[in-house]
A and B are shown apart, each in its own frame.
Chain A
Amino acid sequence: MTAYVLRRLGAAVLVLWAAFTVSFAVLYLLPSDPVSIMLDAANPGGTVDPAQVAELSARYGFDRPPLEQYLVLLGRAVTGDLGVSVTSGAPVSQLLADAFPQTLALTSFALGIALLLGGTIAAVSSWSRSTRLRGALLALPPLGVSMPTFWIGLLLLQLFSFRLPLFPAVGNQGFGSLVLPAVTLAIPLSAVIAQVLARSMRTAWDAPYVETALAKGASRGRVQWRHVTRNAALPALTLLGIAVGNLLAGAVVVETVFSRAGFGGLVEKAVRTQDIPVVQGVVVVGALVFVVVNLVVDLAYPALDPRIARTPATA
């Protein structure tokens, strides 16, 4: 078990390092001159002062060999220092720390809704013996998957903000402002969860251990809850680790649609102004979230399925 945890932790660190290295390579070694881009961004169309260029190059270390730049930046990143924003001069870690809680609240709320909605659809459809109800429920996921996020967002805004003024359309004020964006973000994910979970629940219902449970006198509800759900959760759990990446990407779009402050706004502005340290900071934090979630998923496996911890070779 300890070896399993250590191996997963090692893999997580490796992924983080790779994310940092690749983003460094892409952003710093591309055939463009970061300094002139910065100066142009600060003073569009202005003349370029060579002394200023030299000063900036020295400040950011661009005059050093790439390997040295990389090692210095990596060393700083390990201690939590991700550099300074080119456009605003604020520390990148500060910008990230300001935006992150907003996005975290949005995505975790959306994840909760998606799990509840998807799980309920899957559980009811596999538990029910009415073929009509089952058919109706299973028609929902393909619908949810095929609707684009921005369109769901606009639809929800139109219905629940403009026609029925239940929730605010824009902004970050209070819990109410969180509802519509979170629902928007949750719908496609809940559809995928429902699809995968419904299928693995149907498979579980056909398993011989379900017959054993029914033969004990268990009700269908008890079988669904005690036997089917836990066995069916494993494939859905794998999906969850992958879905979190999509959730972060989706958050960027949704935050833009609902004009919310958060990662979405930060990324959009940083990319527009080519604020390289900020972009790299976002990449690394995104990778960090992804790695942490997948680490949690990996560690949850043995807790859910006792067969995994004993055979780490196949896990």
Chain B
Amino acid sequence: MSAQTAPVLQVRDLVVEYEGRGESVQAVRGVSFDVHAGEVVALVGESGSGKSTTAHAVVGLLPGGGRVVGGSVRLHGGELVGLTDKAWQQVRGARIGLVPQDPGIALNPVTRIGDQVAEVLRIHGRVRRAAAAQQAVEILRSVGLSDPEARARQYPHELSGGMRQRVLIGIALALEPALVIADEPTSALDVTVQRRVLDLLDDLTSRTGSAVLFITHDLAVAADRADRVVVMKDGEIVEEGLTAQVLGAPRHPYTRSLLAAAPQLAVRERVPPPAPTVGESPLLDVLSVSKTFRLPGHAGRTVQAVDDVSFSVARGGAFGLVGESGSGKSTVARLVLQLTTPDSGAVLLDGAPVTDPAGRALLRRRSQLVHQNPFASLDPRFTVAKIIDEPLRSHRVGSRSQRRDRVVELLEQVALGAAFATRRPGELSGGQRQRVAIARALALEPDLLVLDEPTSALDVSVQAQILALLDRLRRDRGLTYLFISHDLAVVRQVADRVGVLHDGRLVEVGPTADVFDQPQDPYTAELVGAIPGHRADPADRPLERSTR
């Protein structure tokens, strides 16, 4: 730690205000912290904590309506608050690099990769076009992209998410800035890709000695990557210190609750209940299903999305299906729900093939889907009561007053209460919306719930609440879950059995503890190894980055 040297970034009593209609809201209230050269400081917190606003205030890119109304931000001693546009243009890109959040949309879709990398060189240096293009290729090589000459000529949509984030890291670090701000750089990426991208970022910034301000909601990632952690809540800092101290012995109750909610770090405290009855016939049988899709735009080319996948889910059990993007896990869910038909193989619900007309009618009532995104799966014009009532109405269940009682009952089951019946989705938080979606799924008293990444859009503490709710519902109501997720730590909390999908094939199936603790397949081992938070254990985590 270089406490005696002057910090690269010095934030003092920073206050940021957003002007709404007639009123202004303070999103950041009196925040102070330092980042030194060669140091990684993680700014952690949930949505609305002000962590992202703080980061954007530091690069002077607050969204419309936001402005710094107090305090100071100094870079190498020079004040940044109140700089003119012209002066900011000298700072951004050259002295502060920004690695943005979502690599899928952070690159201009109609401009070649090489030109986008060269742009930062052209803006700051007086490099000629050809020289900048040449340098851009070198930058692409330095961020570990194979065949950088070809990549430079490609467009963003032709690259994977991980490759795009490498490009963005290359842009941010092109001019070796003194400060790098990484704003949730990997939250949109798969866990194995996340690890590789963060390794790259670590490697490059320690080589240039840049100070890194790392914004994340993921405590496990912070634990792995940061020297110091700053915890924010409601626009204020509640705790800060060395990573091992803050995460090992948190002083503030909020930090403690965050840690308890973080699935990766609290993994041994909660064990999902096993399927209650063993020996009975399974509720769901998936028998060597395969599904091939035609690739659009490539006549005759196909992709094998699901390849000879078999598993069964015991009545009352929770089967976790894990895999990264493109592994085929969503297609399996669609096959189980008969939203698409398999090319070969069969799906049996309670022993009856769901492809039969009779089986399908049964399936529509006895299995329900909970979607990934509660912000998109609820009709914004419906009231909560109408949303939950909809499956009852379409299956003509009960009289109007019976249905009204049922809605209240369902709201209570998901711990929302009757008062929510008249609200609309726009008035609800993400967690409340997902509870409504679960209540809707429960309306027809299904046996099987297919949960497609049900918590990936939620904050960790909300995620923990939803997972607890799912646990309780399964125990109380004897529900069976097919739980689909890319997040192994979440699956570990929910599922009693796990299947690992890779390129459409089920590479490993078994009881959760076995798969996680003694993975048999090399891919499973890689996946488990990539879960962040491994260094959180103080025993195997070096205290200082300089010891690496």
* Cβ-based interface call for A312 (8 A): yes
* Cβ-based interface call for A135 (8 A): no
Tell me whether B296 and A215 are in contact (CB under 8 A): no
Complex interface: chain B residues within 8 A of A314 (CB) = 296
B77-103 Cβ-contact flags toward A at 8 Å (1 or 0): 000000001001111111011101110
* Least CB separation from A227: chain B residue: B108
Inter-chain CA distance A28–B86, complex, in Å, is 69
Tell me whether B109 and A216 are in contact (CB under 8 A): no
Complex interface: chain A residues within 8 A of B336 (CB) = none
* Cβ-based interface call for A242 (8 A): no
Name A's interface SS: helix
| A306 contact from B90, B102, B123, B155, Cβ within 8 A | B155
Tell me whether B100 and A208 are in contact (CB under 8 A): yes
Complex interface: chain B residues within 8 A of A230 (CB) = 110-111
Residues A212 and B296 in contact in the complex (CB < 8 Å), given A218-B123, A307-B155: no
Inter-chain CA distance A185–B52, complex, in Å, is 49
* Cβ-based interface call for B172 (8 A): yes
* Cβ-based interface call for A214 (8 A): yes
Query: Considering the complex, which residues of chain A in the window 262-315 have a beta carbon less than 8 Å from any beta carbon of chain B?
Result: 304-307, 310-314
Tell me whether B100 and A216 are in contact (CB under 8 A): no
In the complex, what's the smallest C-beta–C-beta distance from B158 to chain A, in angstroms? 8
Tell me whether B123 and A211 are in contact (CB under 8 A): no
Inter-chain CA distance A214–B90, complex, in Å, is 11
Among A226, A230, A231, A306: residue with most chain B CB under 10 A: A306
Tell me whether A216 and B155 are in contact (CB under 8 A): no
Tell me whether B85 and A208 are in contact (CB under 8 A): no
Tell me whether B109 and A217 are in contact (CB under 8 A): no
Tell me whether A216 and B106 are in contact (CB under 8 A): no
B187-199 Cβ-contact flags toward A at 8 Å (1 or 0): 0000000000000
Residues A231 and B100 in contact in the complex (CB < 8 Å), given A217-B89, A217-B91, A310-B297: no
* Cβ-based interface call for B119 (8 A): yes
Inter-chain CA distance A245–B260, complex, in Å, is 64
Complex interface: chain A residues within 8 A of B105 (CB) = 207-209
* Cβ-based interface call for A222 (8 A): yes
* Cβ-based interface call for B178 (8 A): no
Tell me whether B106 and A212 are in contact (CB under 8 A): yes
Residues A215 and B123 in contact in the complex (CB < 8 Å), given A209-B105, A209-B106, A227-B108: no
Inter-chain CA distance A19–B110, complex, in Å, is 36
* Cβ-based interface call for A219 (8 A): yes
In the complex, what's the smallest C-beta–C-beta distance from A299 to chain B, in angstroms? 16
Complex interface: chain A residues within 8 A of B306 (CB) = none
Query: Considering the complex, which residues of chain B in the window 28-73 have a beta carbon less than 8 Å from any beta carbon of chain A?
Result: 59, 61
Tell me whether A215 and B108 are in contact (CB under 8 A): no
* Cβ-based interface call for A8 (8 A): no
Inter-chain CA distance A219–B119, complex, in Å, is 12
Complex interface: chain B residues within 8 A of A199 (CB) = none
Complex interface: chain A residues within 8 A of B158 (CB) = 310
Q: How large is the interface on A (under 10, 10 to 19, 20 to 34, 35 or more residues)?
A: 20 to 34
Tell me whether A209 and B109 are in contact (CB under 8 A): yes
In the complex, what's the smallest C-beta–C-beta distance from A195 to chain B, in angstroms? 21
In the complex, what's the smallest C-beta–C-beta distance from A2 to chain B, in angstroms? 12
Tell me whether B97 and A215 are in contact (CB under 8 A): yes
| B157 contact from A209, A215, A307, A313, Cβ within 8 A | A307
Tell me whether B106 and A208 are in contact (CB under 8 A): yes
Among A213, A227, A231, A314: residue with most chain B CB under 10 A: A213
Complex interface: chain A residues within 8 A of B119 (CB) = 213, 216, 218, 226
Inter-chain CA distance A38–B111, complex, in Å, is 60
B99-136 Cβ-contact flags toward A at 8 Å (1 or 0): 01110011111110000100110011000000000000
* Cβ-based interface call for B171 (8 A): yes
Complex interface: chain A residues within 8 A of B109 (CB) = 209, 231, 305-307
Tell me whether B100 and A212 are in contact (CB under 8 A): yes
Tell me whether B111 and A227 are in contact (CB under 8 A): yes
In the complex, what's the smallest C-beta–C-beta distance from A290 to chain B, in angstroms? 27
Complex interface: chain B residues within 8 A of A207 (CB) = 105
Tell me whether B110 and A305 are in contact (CB under 8 A): yes
In the complex, what's the smallest C-beta–C-beta distance from B314 to chain A, in angstroms? 42
Tell me whether B157 and A231 are in contact (CB under 8 A): no
Among A207, A208, A220: residue with most chain B CB under 10 A: A208
| B172 contact from A215, A220, A222, A226, Cβ within 8 A | A215
Tell me whether B101 and A216 are in contact (CB under 8 A): no
Tell me whether A211 and B297 are in contact (CB under 8 A): no
In the complex, what's the smallest C-beta–C-beta distance from B337 to chain A, in angstroms? 25
A175-196 Cβ-contact flags toward B at 8 Å (1 or 0): 0000000000000000000000
Tell me whether B110 and A304 are in contact (CB under 8 A): yes
* Least CB separation from B90: chain A residue: A217
Tell me whether B108 and A209 are in contact (CB under 8 A): yes
In the complex, what's the smallest C-beta–C-beta distance from A236 to chain B, in angstroms? 14
Tell me whether A213 and B110 are in contact (CB under 8 A): no
* Cβ-based interface call for B232 (8 A): no
Complex interface: chain B residues within 8 A of A304 (CB) = 110
Given contacts A216-B92, A313-B296, 9 further A-B contacts (CB under 8 A): A212-B116, A212-B171, A215-B100, A217-B120, A218-B93, A219-B85, A230-B110, A306-B157, A310-B157
List 16 A-B pairs, Cβ < 8 Å: A215-B96, A215-B98, A216-B120, A216-B171, A217-B89, A217-B91, A217-B92, A218-B89, A227-B111, A231-B109, A231-B110, A304-B110, A307-B157, A310-B158, A311-B296, A311-B297
